[in-house]
A and B are shown apart, each in its own frame.
Chain A
Amino acid sequence: MEIVEAKTGKKILLLGNEAITRGALEAGVDFATTYPGTPSSEIADTFSAVAKYLKKEGKDVPFYFEYSTNEKVALEVAAAASFSGLRALTCMKHVGLNVASDAFMTYMYVGCKGGHVIVTADDPSCHSSQNEQDNRYYALFGSAPMLEPSTPQEAKDMTVKAFDLSEKLKLPFLLRTTTRVSHVRGPVKIKDSRKPKGKGFFEKDPMLVTIPEVARKRHPVLIKKMEDALKLSENSEFNIVIGKSDSEIGVVASGVSVLHALEALDILGLEADVLKLGFTNPLPKEMCKNFLRKHKTVVVVEELEPIIENQLKEIAFDAGINDVKIYGKTSGHFSRLYEYNPDIVVEQFAKIFNLKNPLPDTKENPLSLPSRPPVMCPGCPHRASYYAMKKVVPKDVVYPTDIGCYTLGKAPPLEVADVLLCMGSNAGIANGLSKATDQKIISFMGDSTFFHAALPAIVDAVHHNHDCVITVLDNRTTAMTGHQPHPGTSFDGMGNPAKALLVEDVVRGLGVEHVEVVDPKNLKETSEAFKRALEFKGPSVVVSKSPCILLELRDKKERGEPLDIYQIDQDACKRCNICISRFGCPAFYFAEDKSVHINEELCNGCGVCVQVCPFNAIKKVKEVTL
């Protein structure tokens, strides 16, 4: 495993996220916690893979790692390690920090002991997210010092540095990436690893108990720490001016925007100084002031919110610098929406400096190309659950949904997703709709989401007797983010055996009286379970349990079991097309003559379609070895 075994001084290709993990290992991290979420997942998955690899090699694993129940728990677990003097890292996607924010905000007051790096991976353009919030605001909101890498090499270097600085300031550090930093691979130079401590010791300290009296004392301490952080920022190797062109033009940027800006300057042949900011909270005020003084025109390139831009204006105002023109979002050049790319930056630079944009015009595609949205896999048990349910419930049922693969049920022909906010929201929304309307409600979530955020809403449903059906599509994994374990699986992130909680036990324990447990691959049974649940007055839970087809295929391959392949008997087929128009498995397709066939390369052999066909036209035709 190269990321562990590569020798000091060697350059290896690492994903931005892997580089963060490597950085943590080099810094001697003792504790790493997470809840998976794109674009952050590979940071934690690399810890998991390293732990399993070292165990397999018969070596000690020098850190503790866990996929926690949710981001808040992850932050608390790691904060405890830090309070005990250990080095800790917690990683999550941007919206994960919302979940962890209650702990995060007061953690800053208390401060840490062992260095603690909190990674937030933001997702401009919502590649895999429900919003594109700019988590740099959390740094301002909570008074957290923050580093923002541009490349994989910097992602590693900043992680290492963040542990040192965090320990020095006794303040947790935010390391903020975006999709185009987390998911870019580049060369990274390997350095020696510091030896982790292993076990810490919790020394009692009344200042850790944030009763109002203590909180009032800790807030000024936090403000003082941020003043110290400002000095570190002024002298940071991550805040630099690129270019000594003595140009009147200055560009200020952070994160991947630095790279787009440098590329754009090259393309336009424009001479400019670039203030590359890596330590972005607190901003190096003196450095910014000098930069503003030296340049007549300053362009700020930053994705999402005008955070640097606004602060630069404040700095210019306070310093009485009147002769600099600052361009960015408020000047109408750069958007607050979506991720940037070099084309966007070239276009705006060209506008600001009255240059001809040298890039060719956009080529419109002459043919209309079919869309290729992500779909539930052939053989996905969620499709079977949805199909069985829809067969027996009234047409006007409302379907609150949640974050996970099952969201893909929004697409035709299933169309079983009506409202979604965030992790766990299906149950809370179901509760509210059941009281606010007379409509029938069936909500959906996955097993990992159930443990993550749905328990309080189910307690609410029981306590207030909300009349709704809450479904847990239990596929025994966290599928969408890459099959991570969760509290319902019998092993943990380090590959050790773990106590598996059963969803049905948990909801019965919470007081749900009507609980159905079904195998969605049995369509008839599943339909009947949904019917009974819908007839029940009060909250009911359907646990539709069948492993993710991708895990099933992997297990079959390991066991050496063959895969059943199905095909349509064209003589028996009456072309009712239910298999496509209602079931919608992507393995089915129409031939030119409108006959229906199964693409045997796509078929994953679940066999559910045999029950879907009213004319018994779908038959197993062969077995193939995986």
Chain B
Amino acid sequence: MKEKLNIIVTGVGGQGVITAATLLGKTAVASNVNVLVSEVHGMAQRGGVVDCTVRMGNVHSPLLTRGSADVILSSEPVEALRQLDKVNDETVVITDVNPVIPSTVAVTGEKYPKIEEVFKELKKHCKLVTLDAHALAEQAGSVLTKNVVLLGALSALDILPFPKDLLLDTIIKSFPEKYASVNKKAFELGREAVLSQREV
């Protein structure tokens, strides 16, 4: 593992962003890796931007500096681009392709950019991996497992300081037993989606 690992998990309130970040934190603690997870609560409950930082290894501050993210894991394309200031040329951005249009677009006339434009900008600045996490979650058995699909995708990058099975194990143990197979499938589908792209 690198001396430090900086991950930003981002998306929209209700997409399981904080849960995904917490699961990474739990797995780090289980494998005796130092970790700090910072999150937002309160007014952003529903529909607002939620961004969490997960820092592992030899780190002090829970927050990360400009251009220092190793990975951005995003459950919404525009939210991935909103983190542009945190990326560098080596940063891998993994994002779901499905936009969540904020209600401000209908009410105030703000514009949601074209998805191709969003991806084009991201590609200029970092390494972009896209997947239809929503469809994969549905395929696994529940759209609520979208965050688990993304964690599976993250595990395919081979940069986490713990084996992917430990992450999967933490995920499965953190929810009631009846969701175990759905979560496992979601995780594997996310992982596969990235591995298959890498082979190409």
Interface residues of A (CB under 8 A from B): 11-13, 38-39, 41-42, 127-128, 151, 180, 183-187, 256, 259-260, 262-263, 266-267, 341-343, 346, 359-363, 365-375, 377, 411-413, 480-481, 580-581, 584-586, 588-590, 601
Contact = CB atoms under 8 A, between A and B. Distances in A.
B48 interface: yes
B61 interface: yes
A39 B65 contact: no
B67 interface: yes
B39 to A, nearest CB: 5
Interface bracket on B? 35 or more
Given A262-B60, A373-B102, 18 more contacts: A185-B22, A185-B38, A187-B28, A259-B62, A263-B59, A341-B65, A342-B61, A342-B63, A343-B66, A362-B66, A370-B112, A372-B49, A374-B13, A374-B45, A412-B108, A580-B107, A586-B102, A589-B101
A187 B29 contact: yes
Given A259-B61, A360-B67, A366 B121 contact: yes
B174 to A, nearest CB: 10
B96 to A, nearest CB: 14
Nearest to B21: A185
B82 interface: yes
B38 A183 contact: yes
Given A127-B42, A370-B104, A580-B107, A375 B47 contact: yes
A150 to B, nearest CB: 9
Given A184-B36, A266-B60, A367-B118, A374 B105 contact: no
B47 A370 contact: no
B35 interface: yes
A330 B102 CA distance: 42
A127 B111 contact: no
A589 B35 contact: no
A185 B42 contact: no
Interface in B76-117: 78-79, 81-82, 84-85, 87-88, 101-108, 110-113, 117
Nearest to A150: B60
Contacts of A370: 78, 101-102, 104-105, 110-112
Contacts of B44: 374
Contacts of A363: 66-67, 84-85, 87, 125
Which 8 pairs across A and B sit closest by C-beta, in order of nearness?
A: A128-B42, A586-B103, A38-B42, A262-B60, A185-B37, A263-B61, A374-B48, A360-B67
A12 B29 contact: yes
11 contacts: A183-B38, A342-B61, A359-B66, A363-B84, A368-B113, A369-B113, A370-B101, A370-B111, A372-B49, A372-B104, A581-B107
Interface centre among B28, B46, B48, B110 (most CB of A within 10 A): B46
Contacts of B38: 180, 183-185
A148 to B, nearest CB: 15
B29 A13 contact: yes
Contacts of A256: 61-62
Contacts of B61: 256, 259-260, 262-263, 341-342
B40 A127 contact: yes
B124 to A, nearest CB: 8
Given A360-B67, A362-B66, A367-B81, A480 B42 contact: yes
A366 B85 CA distance: 11
Contact of A13 (B22, B43, B113): B22
Contacts of A128: 41-43
B12 interface: yes
Contacts of B40: 127, 183
Interface centre among A13, A263, A374 (most CB of B within 10 A): A13
Contacts of B64: 342
B31 to A, nearest CB: 11
Given A184-B38, A580-B107, A372 B102 contact: yes
B156 to A, nearest CB: 23
Contacts of A343: 65-66
Contact of A371 (B60, B110, B113): B110
Contacts of B108: 412
A12 B37 CA distance: 13
A369 B78 contact: yes
Contact of A341 (B26, B49, B63, B113): B63
A274 B101 CA distance: 46
B46 A374 contact: yes
A368 B106 CA distance: 16
B25 interface: yes
B34 interface: yes
A371 B111 CA distance: 9
A389 B110 CA distance: 27
Contacts of A367: 81, 113, 117-118, 121
B41 A183 contact: yes
Interface string B4-36: 000000001100000000100110110010111
A246 B14 CA distance: 50
Given A39-B41, A346-B65, A360-B66, A185 B101 contact: no
A580 B43 contact: no
A262 B64 CA distance: 13
Nearest to A182: B41
A187 B113 CA distance: 40
B43 A480 contact: yes
B107 A413 contact: yes
Nearest to B174: A2
Contacts of B32: 11
A186 B81 CA distance: 27
Nearest to A601: B143
Nearest to A361: B66
A585 B79 CA distance: 22
Contacts of B88: 360
B65 to A, nearest CB: 5
B43 A374 contact: yes
Contacts of B37: 13, 184-186
B46 A377 contact: yes
Contacts of A480: 42-43, 45
Nearest to A362: B85
B60 A263 contact: yes
A42 B18 CA distance: 14
A588 B106 CA distance: 8
Contacts of A365: 81-82, 84-85, 121
Given A13-B29, A183-B40, A373 B82 contact: no
A589 B106 contact: yes
Nearest to B68: A359
B36 A185 contact: yes
A185 B25 contact: yes
Interface in B43-59: 43-49, 59
